[in-house]
Amino acid sequence: DEKSNILSFHSLAAEKLEPAQLCHMANREVNDAFAGLNLNKERLVGIGISMPGIIDYQNGVVKFAAQTGWHNAAIKPMMEEISGINCILDNDIKAAAYAEYIKGNATDSEIAVSLYFGNGLGSALIVNGQIYRGVSNSAGELGISLRI
């Protein structure tokens, strides 16, 4: 809402989906959430999408995601075309770290680090209220290498 409170949260498993399938499913979830909350969709100012992988957040493109196998998937423009609503796409750990800075345990921090242990090892750094992205926007993408 206008105060950054989460009114509805939905998670979709994208591992076995093509980008267009994901966007159509996400659009249905948005429509269902607004209908379920009895809210006017005209009030929606944007859709936020976060995913693991190397994300070109400025253009809304998944450059590479190991979990889905996607390369250069233009999620933001596709989702905007399907939904008719402005969208933003970012890396899931960067989005989670920024949410912690805005509304969570890191609100009063000048520097905050978020770590994620899952299919890989990811991290994000917030410095003076901004996501630290590095030159290639892959700062924090640590991954895991196994040597046998």
The tens digit of pLDDT for each residue in 45-100 reads: 889 999 988 899 999 999 998 888 999 999 999 999 999 999 999 999 999 999 99
Model pTM? 0.85
Burial per residue of 54-75, b for 16 or more beta-carbon CB atoms within 10 angstroms, e otherwise: bbbbeebbbbbbeebebeebbb
Q: What is the pLDDT of residue 147?
A: 57
The tens digit of pLDDT for each residue in 102-139 reads: 888 888 899 998 888 877 778 899 999 999 998 888 77
Residue at token pair 């939905």: 10
- Those residues whose C-beta lies under 8 Å from the C-beta of residue 36, and which sit 6 or more positions away, are 8
